[in-house]
Copies of this chain bind each other. A is one copy, B any other.
Amino acid sequence: MLDETAKGVFTIAVTPFKPNGDVDWESVDRMVDFYIEAGATGLTILGMMGEAGKLTAEESVGIVKRVVARSSVPIVVGVSAPGFAAMKALSDAAMDIGAAGVMVAPPSSLKTDGQILTYYHNTAEVLGDAPFVLQDFPLVTNVVVPTSVILQVVEDCPTCVMLKHEDWPGLDKISALRAASDKGARRISILCGNGGLYLLEEMLRGADGAMTGFAYPEMMAQVVEAHGAGDTDRARDIFDAYMPMVRYEAQPGLGLAIRKYTLAQRGVIAHDTVRKPGGMLSAATKSEVNALAARQADKLKELGL
């Protein structure tokens, strides 16, 4: 079961599709193996970048089963839904199957501090014993969650064990949360998203690792490891070598297609298909990705990686 001590890299998994849009189950297996070999200490499936919203309820459960069966690391399942009934149905199913926990982003209808807090009170009640991750991603959800509200959720809901942090800017938020736990608030795990674009600074502020899906997930593992070993310079060298690609993949909307293209190029998934509605890469974009990948390979060689 997921708890507050979780750390390292929980890779956000894509959902592989065949060119006709069907789930590509063999690629699912290969992807799970790849992520774990690349250093994942956990996997997060059915997140936004897992195209969760484009799946049927049946497909979602199928993916949970397949990934849980294949994985040797804990699985977090995104269960965000417009209503609590669908959230509960998927969460219950996922926990039964063997997931370690679930993740919930706030719906965009929430406006005030009190509404957000009430929403997570209801969430915790509905989820029962399932440990959950609060996903804080205002760029996409349009919900700004103040630090004080996160701390209140942590105080009120013992099953909230992790923050998926991707507020932007959000570095001072990490510092504020850590300062609060230094003063007695329950210390939860903080894993960071945003494609890894601020990973090193996030670690330096007190994060426990990354929860994001950059197509070279080994970068996250290496940066987290170097940082953990106290070698910030080495962490920075690695981080900088990947940064042009991290930045390129950070393009909203397009990012998922870039990520899938790279994963397909690397042989992890068989096809770079993004389900409709979703973008395809232009030839120019593919060229740019290729150029960045070639240069990145050179830089990594210089670093002995």
Contact B122 A277 (CB under 8 A): yes
CB contacts (< 8 Å) of A148 on chain B: these are 114
Say yes or no: A169-B82 contact (C-beta < 8 A), given A114-B146, A244-B240, A288-B201: no
Q: How far is the CB of A164 from chain B (nearest CB, A)?
A: 18
In Å, the complex CA distance between A304 and B90 comes to 53
Contact B175 A282 (CB under 8 A): yes
Contact B146 A86 (CB under 8 A): no
Among residues of B, the one whose C-beta sits closest to the C-beta of A89 is B56
Interface stretch, picked from A182-190, A212-220, A248-256, is A248-256
Contact B112 A146 (CB under 8 A): yes
Q: Interface range on chain A: under 10, 10 to 19, 20 to 34, or 35 or more?
A: 35 or more
Among residues of B, the one whose C-beta sits closest to the C-beta of A119 is B277
Contact B247 A83 (CB under 8 A): no
Interface string of A58-79 (1 = CB under 8 A from B): 1100000000000000000000
Contact A57 B56 (CB under 8 A): yes
Q: How far is the CB of A278 from chain B (nearest CB, A)?
A: 9
In Å, the complex CA distance between A142 and B205 comes to 31
Say yes or no: A169-B253 contact (C-beta < 8 A), given A84-B275, A144-B111, A201-B288: yes
Contact A51 B146 (CB under 8 A): no
Cβ-based interface call for A55 (8 A): yes
Q: How far is the CB of A90 from chain B (nearest CB, A)?
A: 9
Q: How far is the CB of A196 from chain B (nearest CB, A)?
A: 11
CB contacts (< 8 Å) of A108 on chain B: these are 108
Interface residues of A in 119-162 (CB under 8 A from B): 119, 122, 138, 144, 146, 148
- Shortest Cβ-Cβ A-B pairs, 10 listed: A54-B83, A53-B82, A169-B251, A111-B144, A57-B57, A113-B113, A169-B254, A56-B89, A112-B146, A56-B85
Extra contacts besides A113-B114, A171-B284, A201-B288 (8): CB < 8 Å: A21-B85, A57-B57, A57-B86, A169-B254, A171-B288, A172-B282, A239-B244, A243-B247
